[in-house]
Amino acid sequence: MLSGKKILLGITGGIAAYKTTFLVRLLIKAGAEVKVILTESALSFVTPLTLATLSKNPVLTSFIQEEEASVDWNNHVELGLWADIMLIAPATANTLSKMANGSCDNLLLATYFSAKCDVFFAPAMDLDMYKHPATKASLKKLENFGNILIPAGEGELASGLFGEGRMAEPEEIVQFMQNHIAGTLPLKDKKILITAGPTYEAIDPVRFIGNHSSGLMGFELAKAAAKLGGQVVLISGPSHLTAESPSIEVVRVVSAQEMFHAVHRYYEDCDIAISAAAVSDYRPSNVSEQKIKKDGDTLQINLVKNKDILLSMGDKKKHQYLVGFALETENELENAKNKLRKKNLDAIVLNSLNDKDAGFGKSTNKITFIDKNSEIKTFEVKNKAEVALDIFNEIIHRGHA
């Protein structure tokens, strides 16, 4: 959920600030890019050098940035626009009050008031401070602003008292943020089935019939679906690519027959299915158990037709939203529409080998999305990660997520 996110961590002057070193490490481990702002009082509890080393970014403490023979300033507006998420932890009673009442006397607060992203805050203070009506009023006001409270826990406090006010542990903060993000994603609780890559049809133990598909489009679709909250089963033919995400189960196959059986093992329970694999239409009728020796100037191989995986999915379709791919070289639009109707698809993604930036082995693609109501949308050339997001946005736009 946090992979690729730009997180701006604001640290204020409470004893719980010592935990932020562990928090930064966890955010980095989750795949986030982290920048840190410290208030002046936070400098008493944690050092900029430690946080800069862990975050791999300079730590900011004030508006003015002095270097040898030069003076610059830290732009709070740029920082607020840079962030996908702002997290203030620990958030002291003093900072909470300023946030709630519009007081702006340091870089952290100026950035908070400039932020356009979700703001999470994790209060940390002593028991009586946390229970004080002024603090409760600040918390309520901030939540009314749309800021997201990470509740304080109970435990032993710096004063020696035991009770509420202890900042959530770093692991709890990260989990809270992940759960919150997951709950707002459009593919939450959706099961997505995607096929990717080529299939290899054996001639003998050494040789095969295949194609030039790398599987990149299918793998980017799987990653996009996972980032949007989906639980993904990715059935891939031979490919060197990986999809490391707890939300993606990768099922490796080789032949079209293996892919057929794998697809129908998962198809019935899925909500959205996208067939991006370049499946071999034919396979050798007989596979030699031994390597075929060179004998003569020609070699004849009899081929038989493989089962049409996408057609079988269309025949068995119930609640699934089914999307196919069409790679065409002539009469592209008409051929794609015919395939959509013939195979009982809900939509088809057309790409043409006549587009130099589309097709096998490319990092980019140029697509046209066509649905069963003949609504057509053509996109410019984009990298395949962006194309994958465009495809899911079209599915979501049509109310199928």
pLDDT tens-digit map of 277-301 = 999 999 999 999 999 888 888 889 9
Q: What is the per-residue pLDDT across 245-271, written as a single tens digit (0 to 9) for each?
A: 888 999 999 999 999 999 999 999 999
CB 124 within 8 A of CB 90: yes
**Is the fold of 6-184 the same as that of 191-397?**
yes
Give the pLDDT score at 400: 62
**End-to-end alpha-carbon separation of the chain, Å?**
18
Q: Hey, which CATH number is domain 191-397, 3.50.50.60, 3.40.50.10300, 3.30.420.40, 1.10.760.10?
A: 3.40.50.10300
φ and ψ at residue 139, rounded to 5 degrees: -60, -45
When the pLDDT of each residue in the chain is averaged and rounded to a whole number, the result is 91
Q: Report the 10 Å Cβ neighbour count for 122.
A: 27
Return the bridge partners of 369, or none: 349, 377
Sequence-ordered list of residues with C-beta below 8 angstroms from that of 96, at least 6 positions apart, any chain? 121, 123, 135, 138, 139, 142
Side chain identity at residue 208, one-letter code: F
- CA nearest neighbour of 201 among 97, 298, 96, 306: 306
pLDDT band, residue 62 (cuts 50/70/90): confident
Give the pLDDT score at 68: 55
Q: What is the per-residue pLDDT across 331-350, written as a single tens digit (0 to 9) for each?
A: 889 999 999 999 999 999 99
Around 143, how many Cα atoms within 13 Å sit in the side-chain half-sphere? 11
Question: The whole model's pTM is what?
Answer: 0.73
pLDDT band, residue 330 (cuts 50/70/90): confident
φ and ψ at residue 146, rounded to 5 degrees: 100, 0
Q: Catalytic positions, please?
A: 211
Per-residue pLDDT, averaged over 147-172, amounts to 86
Domain chopping of the chain, boundaries: 6-184, 191-397
| pLDDT(32) > 70 | yes
CB 379 within 8 A of CB 390: yes
What percent of the chain has pLDDT above 90?
75
Per DSSP, which regions of 53-176 are E strands? 64-67, 70-73, 85-91, 118-123, 148-149, 153-156, 162-166
Q: Which residue has the higher pLDDT, 372 or 357?
A: 372
DSSP letter for 271, please. S
| CATH level 2 (architecture), domain 6-184 | 3-Layer(aba) Sandwich (3.40)
